[in-house]
A and B are shown apart, each in its own frame.
Chain A
Amino acid sequence: GQNIDQPTEMTATEGAIVQINCTYQTSGFNGLFWYQQHAGEAPTFLSYNVLDGLEEKGRFSSFLSRSKGYSYLLLKELQMKDSASYLCAVRNTGGFKTIFGAGTRLFVKA
């Protein structure tokens, strides 16, 4: 079967660091994506990992361990505008099919 798990909700303080975890079990693996989605809007691409390790992109970093079926998204220097849902998504080996996790709703408070 295919399963992607993320925490449902997280709360963090402006200026802090937050880590959003994602574990997955999928039939085949060809990359893991993180997307940000504000309420009522479309998802926007944040990061992509296909090899183990850390990818850094400004305030956002994403880590992947394929052997553990585990990824995390790290957000630094949190801003109020970072309040959104964060979707972990795994692409199957075939290439076109991407399975989305249910998303983690992040609330950033002052």
Chain B
Amino acid sequence: DTEVTQTPKHLVMGMTNKKSLKCEQHMGHRAMYWYKQKAKKPPELMFVYSYEKLSINESVPSRFSPECPNSSLLNLHLHALQPEDSALYLCASSSFGVDEQYFGPGTRLTVT
């Protein structure tokens, strides 16, 4: 199984809402990533978890809160987002930091 799954596929939320994005992989990968991608732009790294510990936070605003409950799951909690946060949010995993990343299909987020 070389699949990374993400839910939901689409999400529309208001600026006062709280929502969560979920990511799951069963490849035994110990590194998991959150990326943000705007249209016609490359993915931008947000967070990296290594062995369920946060190892990289790319100065992401606190309205984005990552969580790694176990080695297979990665969440991104969203609160008080801004319209400019609308984007495709991609989750990825790798065997370790040195290996290729497998991306999930993404969650297309619209903030109204």
Binding site for B on A (CB under 8 A): 30-31, 33, 41-45, 48, 87, 89, 91, 94-103
Contact = CB atoms under 8 A, between A and B. Distances in A.
Interface residues of B, number: 22
29 contacts: A30-B98, A31-B98, A33-B100, A41-B105, A41-B106, A42-B90, A42-B103, A42-B104, A42-B105, A42-B106, A43-B43, A43-B90, A44-B103, A45-B100, A45-B101, A89-B42, A91-B97, A91-B98, A95-B96, A95-B98, A96-B33, A96-B48, A96-B50, A96-B55, A96-B97, A97-B48, A98-B45, A100-B42, A103-B42
Q: Which 7 pairs across A and B sit closest by C-beta, in order of nearness?
A: A95-B97, A100-B42, A42-B103, A96-B97, A45-B100, A96-B48, A43-B103
Contacts of B90: 42-43
Nearest to B49: A96
Interface string B71-104: 0000000000000000000100000111011111
Nearest to B104: A42
B7 to A, nearest CB: 14
A3 B10 CA distance: 32
A100 B43 contact: yes
Contacts of A43: 43, 90, 103
Contacts of B97: 91, 94-96
A95 B56 CA distance: 11
A98 B105 CA distance: 19
A99 B45 CA distance: 8
B105 to A, nearest CB: 5
Interface in B18-66: 31, 33, 41-45, 48, 50, 55-56
B102 A102 contact: no
Contacts of A94: 97
